[in-house]
Amino acid sequence: MTEKTYLEHLNSLRNVLLRSLGAIALIFFVLVFFRNEIFLLFANPLTEILPANSSMIATGVVSPFLTPLRLTFYVATFVAIPYLLFELWNFIAPGLYKEEKIGFFAVLFSSIVLFLAGICFAFFVIFPLIFTFFVQASPSEVLVMTDINEYIDFVVRILFVFGFAFEVPIVLMLMIWSGVTNAQQLSSARPYVIIGCFVVGMFLTPPDIFSQTLLALPVWLLYEVGLLASRFFINK
């Protein structure tokens, strides 16, 4: 590779990054006018199960303004992901063979679908269960009033944890396809994987066995799905 070609690649990468940041900024400036509606949408899993005399609170002076703004930035970044992946594809595709393009596109598409599935699973299944458990488990003398800043931090962290956790089948298939391991070795390691799922859940979820189990069980099931899929699509 000549120096000129190397510099051209760096220039292309810079343009990709600039266009990607510009896309996020543009989406953010559009969504910022709906920041309060976006916050209410994300707060709904908790607010709909709070007692009638309870509500969310803001303990910081600037929290009522900055927290919805920060959440809007997260949403803008998420909405921009298809365009970001499009830019990534345009940057990488010219250097790939036809078979590699097909494989890369399949992995990319599957990763997006699984990531979205993880986020939807967390938002529509996990959040109602967790928040109902926490609210009902609180002492009757305690009035549940959650700080909006801590709530958004918790929600965003759990959404990303489940989104990435649902990538387990892709990771397994890539490991088997690359020759790092094989399906037989991964099957024999199943007991350690189950323990590992609960250990990971212990560090990534709130410190209660209920939340840990809600993360560990789907990850274990996805591990089994990855093993099953590898036997059909990979001959190793």
| pLDDT computed for residue 40 by the predictor | 93
| pLDDT computed for residue 1 by the predictor | 43
pLDDT tens for each residue of the chain, 236 residues long: 444 476 777 888 888 899 999 999 999 999 999 999 999 999 999 888 888 778 888 888 888 899 999 999 999 998 998 888 888 888 887 777 777 778 788 888 888 889 999 999 999 988 888 888 888 877 777 777 889 999 999 999 889 888 888 888 888 888 887 777 777 888 888 888 888 888 887 777 766 677 778 888 888 898 888 888 777 766 55
Alpha carbon of 161 to those of 45, 118, 213, 218: distances in Å?
18, 8, 14, 12
